[in-house]
Structure 1
Amino acid sequence: MNSRQIKLTVSYLSILLISCVSGTHYLFSVYSISIQERLNFSSVQINTIGSACNYGVFLGKPVLGYFVDNYGARRVCFAASILIFAGFSCLALTYEKIFPTSFLLCAFYLFWTGVASSGGAVSFLTTTAKNFSSNRGTAISIPLALLGLSAFIYSQINMHFFDDTFHFLLFIAFTAGLCMSFGSLFLVVIPAPQHVSDTIESGSNDSISRDDQRIEQTPLLNKNNSNTINRDQIELDIGGWQLLRNKDAISMILILVFFAGTGLMYINNVGIIIESLYHASATPHSDAKIKNLLGFHVSLISICSCIGRILIGPLSDIAKNYFDLSRICSLLFAGVWLFCGNLLALLWVHDIDQLWIVSTCIGLGFGVLYGVAPTTCSEYFGSRHFGFNWLVFKSLNLM
Structure 2
Amino acid sequence: MLSRQITLTISYLSILLISCVSGTHYLFSAYSTSIQERLDFNSVQINTIGSACNYGVYLSKPFLGYLVDNYGARRMCFAASILIFFGFSCLALTYERMLPPSFLLCAFYLLCTGVASSGAAVSFLTTIAKNFSSHRGTAISIPLALLGLSAFLYSQANMYLFEDTFHFLLFIAFSAGLSMFIGSLFLVVVPVPSQVSSVIIESGSDDSTSTDNVPSRVKTLKTERTPLLHKNTSTSSTTIIIDDNEPDIGGWQLLHNKDAISLILILVLLAGTGVMYINNVGTIIEDLYHTSPAHPSHPYSLPTTLNTDLKNLQSFHVSLLSIFSCLGRILIGPFSDIAKNHFNMSRVCSLIFAGVWLFCGNLLALLWVRDIAHLWIVTTCIGLGFGILYGVAPTTCSEYFGSKRFGFNWLVF
TM-score, with structure 1 as normaliser: 0.92
Alignment match, 2:273: 262
Distance 2:100 2:146 in 1: 35
Alignment match, 1:235: 246
Q: Could you say if the C-alpha distance between residues 59 and 227 of structure 1 is closer, same or farther in structure 2, counting changes exceeding 3 Å? A: farther
- Is 1:275 matched up with 2:295? no
Shift of 1:347: 0.6
Shift of 1:372: 0.2
SS of 1:99 mapped into structure 2:
coil
- Is 1:210 matched up with 2:230? no
Alignment match, 1:114: 114
SS of 1:98 mapped into structure 2:
coil
Distance 2:178 2:363 in 1: 41
The code of the aligned residue for 1:269 comes to N
Contact 1:335 1:365 (8 Å CA) reproduced: yes
Q: Could you say if the C-alpha distance between residues 211 and 51 of structure 1 is closer, same or farther in structure 2, counting changes exceeding 3 Å? A: same
Distance 1:21 1:208 in 2: 54
Name whichever of 328-337 and 98-107 sits farther off: 328-337
Structure 2 gaps, min length 5: 200-210, 231-239, 298-306
Q: Could you say if the C-alpha distance between residues 191 and 293 of structure 1 is closer, same or farther in structure 2, counting changes exceeding 3 Å? A: same
Alignment match, 1:54: 54
Distance 1:112 1:10 in 2: 28
Alignment match, 1:36: 36
Distance 2:212 2:88 in 1: 53
The code of the aligned residue for 2:250 comes to G
Shift of 1:208: 12
- Is 1:309 matched up with 2:311? no
Q: How many residues align?
A: 383
How do 1:333-348 and structure 2 match up within 5 A? 333-348=353-368
Alignment match, 2:301: none
The code of the aligned residue for 1:250 comes to I
Q: Could you say if the C-alpha distance between residues 209 and 137 of structure 1 is closer, same or farther in structure 2, counting changes exceeding 3 Å? A: farther
The code of the aligned residue for 1:69 comes to D
Contact 2:219 2:244 (8 Å CA) reproduced: no
Shift of 1:88: 0.1
How do 1:95-110 and structure 2 match up within 5 A? 95-110=95-110
Alignment match, 1:367: 387
CA offsets 1:269-313 (integer angstroms, 9 cap, x no match): 000000111101233349961111111110001000000000000
Q: Could you say if the C-alpha distance between residues 105 and 207 of structure 1 is closer, same or farther in structure 2, counting changes exceeding 3 Å? A: farther
Q: Could you say if the C-alpha distance between residues 209 and 276 of structure 1 is closer, same or farther in structure 2, counting changes exceeding 3 Å? A: farther
Name whichever of 183-192 and 106-115 sits farther off: 183-192
Alignment match, 2:64: 64
Contact 1:200 1:234 (8 Å CA) reproduced: no
RMSD: 2.4
SS of 1:346 mapped into structure 2:
helix
Shift of 1:332: 1.8
Q: Could you say if the C-alpha distance between residues 208 and 66 of structure 1 is closer, same or farther in structure 2, counting changes exceeding 3 Å? A: farther
Shift of 1:243: 1.1
How do 1:320-359 and structure 2 match up within 5 A? 320-359=340-379
The code of the aligned residue for 1:388 comes to F
SS of 1:210 mapped into structure 2:
coil
Distance 1:348 1:373 in 2: 30
Structure 1 gaps, min length 5: 394-399
Shift of 1:191: 1.4
Q: Could you say if the C-alpha distance between residues 56 and 214 of structure 1 is closer, same or farther in structure 2, counting changes exceeding 3 Å? A: closer
SS of 2:215 mapped into structure 1:
helix
Whose Rg is larger? 2
The code of the aligned residue for 1:301 comes to L
Shift of 1:213: 7.5
Contact 1:149 1:303 (8 Å CA) reproduced: yes
Q: 2:227 aligns with which of 220, 225, 228?
A: 225
Distance 1:183 1:208 in 2: 50
Structure with the bigger percentage of helix: 1
Distance 1:227 1:380 in 2: 27
Shift of 1:336: 0.6
Alignment match, 1:124: 124
The code of the aligned residue for 1:254 comes to L
- Is 1:45 matched up with 2:45? yes
Distance 1:208 1:329 in 2: 37
Alignment match, 1:3: 3
CA offsets 1:108-151 (integer angstroms, 9 cap, x no match): 00000000000000000000000000000000000000000000
- Is 1:165 matched up with 2:170? no
Distance 1:148 1:45 in 2: 26
- Is 1:23 matched up with 2:43? no
SS of 1:378 mapped into structure 2:
helix
Contact 2:80 2:116 (8 Å CA) reproduced: yes
TM-score, with structure 2 as normaliser: 0.88
Distance 1:12 1:324 in 2: 28
Q: Could you say if the C-alpha distance between residues 32 and 362 of structure 1 is closer, same or farther in structure 2, counting changes exceeding 3 Å? A: same
CA offsets 1:66-117 (integer angstroms, 9 cap, x no match): 0110110000000000000000000000000000000000000000000000
The code of the aligned residue for 2:224 comes to N
